[in-house]
Amino acid sequence: MRYVLLDRITALKPPELATGIKCVSLADDVFVDHFPGHPIMPGALILEALAQLGGVLVEATMRERGQGDLHALLVTVEKAKFRHLVRPGDRLELETRGISAHEDGGQVRGFARVEGQLVTEAELSFAFTRVTSQKLLLRRREVLNVWLTGSTEDP
């Protein structure tokens, strides 16, 4: 199973806002077992998609403050609510709004919608770890460029 759950970041405005999309497909590995004949995207994966987007937002906020070698790690999920099912064929519209960001970590409020209808919301908190591997830094830059531009070339 792959754990990159963002297809595109559509807006990145640190420290306030990040938006993105995940096109939910029957080809996603999770639907083999969740559930045969009745595919539903697990709530944990919706939260992970929000965490990936929220992590990008708090990392970008810290980059703007001169700390570009931080990696956000999800540490808590609070006030999570799941309001509707997400199924293959849905376009999951993701939004995270910054609450705080500082050298120890950050917090965002996340919302997931399908066709404008709220399906999931939660508050996500992150801790930061320093990235020292040049190989990992390059890989992270490549993934971020794909999310932002659809290309592996620097924008």
Q: What mean pLDDT is predicted for residues 31-39? A: 89
Question: Cα separation of 68 and 10, whole Å?
Answer: 21
**Most confident listed range (44-53, 67-76, 129-138):** 44-53
> In this structure, how many other beta carbons lie within 10 angstroms of the beta carbon of residue 18?
30
User: Is residue 10 within 8 Å of 23, Cβ to Cβ?
Assistant: no
Residue 14, in any domain of the structure: yes
b/e per residue, 36-65, with b = 16+ CB within 10 A? eeebebebebbbbbbbbbbbbbbbbbbeee
Residue 31, in any domain of the structure: yes
pTM: 0.92
Quick check: 154 pLDDT over 60? no
Domain count, the chain: 1
55-59, 99-103, 137-141, range with the lowest pLDDT: 137-141
Active site residue 34: yes
Marked catalytic residue, from 34, 38, 71, 102: 34
Residue 2, in any domain of the structure: no
Residue 151, in any domain of the structure: no
pLDDT digits 0-9 by tens, 108-138: 999 999 999 999 999 999 999 998 888 988 8
Residue 153, in any domain of the structure: no
CA separation, residue 139 to residues 48, 49, 58, 146 (Å): 19, 19, 18, 11
Residue 155, in any domain of the structure: no
Residue 154, in any domain of the structure: no
What CATH number is given to the structural domain containing 60? Answer: 3.10.129.10
> Structural domain of residue 30, as residue ranges?
8-146
